[in-house]
Amino acid sequence: MKLVKNILVFGLLSIVINGCFENPKYPAVPQIEVLNSELYYGKSRTGGLDSIVVALRFTDGNGDIGLNDDDKGDFKYALQYYYRTGIDDNIVNYKFKRENPNFEINLADGSTPKPLSFYGFVSPFNCTNWQIIRNASNVITDTLFTIYNQNHFNIFVDFYIKNDIGGSFKKYVISEEFAYPNCGDQTFGRGRLPILSNNLGSSTPLDGKIIWSLNSGLFDFIFSVKTLKIKIYIQDRALNKSNVVETKEFSLQSIKR
């Protein structure tokens, strides 16, 4: 007999209910299914901000889903990466970029290095790759080069907006909506599921239900009466990505509670 945990996750909270089943066998790569009947739009549990709530069924063969605060210090799960110039251990900034345009940035994902000249201070790079540093008086003191690490997160929610002509969908990109200096939140649609297993590393199968709440005060402003759909996937600690699922087409008004 193997232990399977049925799990409900809301935001960053989890409830675990234990059950026992005969030799459950799930793939080690997470698998998910969207529950369209539980998709809704309303006020967040804490009040104030609006929430778009999505529900997923999931399975995971070895139970290695979830990140906690202790993982933030792990290079693999860091929020963002900075790069050293190799000169007095300084961090690459925009002044260094102007003086060394051919300096190559070796990305943590192992992809082909790109020179700093690739990352100009133009949209979208001025919001996604250049971090403005200000002092206590709000005066700009430096502009540092950075790469946001998607592996800091383990649930990924992307919005798609339907075109009025043709009916195709276009992915919503926040850096296209909010340009420098009013950059949008670069973690929009990204979240961190907590560790779901009671005994991480035991390879215990998991199945259950995830309810994820995306909170923002800008949903009505951004999406208004547009027709949307959402694509979602999750990722385990070994960086295995689940299948991608998508919701039904909807407007905020059609799923409002």
Asked if pLDDT for residue 12 goes beyond 60, the answer is no
Of 148, 174, 204, which residue is a domain's last? 148
Q: Quick check: 193 and 210 in contact, CB under 8 A?
A: yes
Q: Distance between alpha carbon 187 and the CA centroid of its chain, in Å? A: 6
Q: Where are the beta strands (DSSP E) in 119-205?
A: 130-134, 140-148, 155-162, 169-171, 190-191
Tell the residue number behind the tokens 């059609």, with chain if given: 254
The range of the structural domain enclosing residue 221 comes to 2-71+152-255
Same domain (yes/no): 128, 233 = no
Q: Quick check: 32 and 58 in contact, CB under 8 A?
A: yes
Same domain (yes/no): 139, 88 = yes
Q: How many domains does the chain have?
A: 2
Same domain (yes/no): 137, 193 = no
Render pLDDT for 204-244 as a digit per residue (tens, 0 to 9): 899 999 999 998 888 999 999 999 999 999 999 999 999 99
Same domain (yes/no): 177, 235 = yes
The candidate with the shortest Cα–Cα distance to 11, out of 40, 41, 51, is 51
**Pair of tokens at residue 159:** 């919005």
Same domain (yes/no): 236, 209 = yes
Q: Where are the alpha helices (DSSP H) in 142-234?
A: 174-177, 219-223
Better-predicted residue by pLDDT, 44 or 95? 95
Same domain (yes/no): 180, 231 = yes
Same domain (yes/no): 50, 22 = yes
Helix (H, G, I), strand (E, B) or coil at 15: strand
Same domain (yes/no): 232, 198 = yes
- Quick one: pLDDT at residue 69? 85
Average pLDDT, the chain: 86
Of 98, 128, 148, which residue is a domain's last? 148
Same domain (yes/no): 163, 52 = yes
**Pair of tokens at residue 16:** 């675990």
Label residue 47 by pLDDT band (50, 70, 90).
Answer: low
Of 99, 133, 148, which residue is a domain's last? 148
Helix (H, G, I), strand (E, B) or coil at 118: helix
Same domain (yes/no): 14, 108 = no
Q: What percent of the chain has pLDDT over 70?
A: 89
Same domain (yes/no): 61, 85 = no
Label residue 1 by pLDDT band (50, 70, 90).
Answer: very low
The candidate with the shortest Cα–Cα distance to 26, out of 66, 72, 49, 57, is 57
- Residue 237 amino acid letter: R
Render pLDDT for 194-212 as a digit per residue (tens, 0 to 9): 998 887 777 889 999 999 9
pTM value is 0.85
- What backbone torsions phi and psi does residue 239 show, to the nearest 5 degrees? 70, 20
**Pair of tokens at residue 183:** 């950059």
Same domain (yes/no): 161, 243 = yes
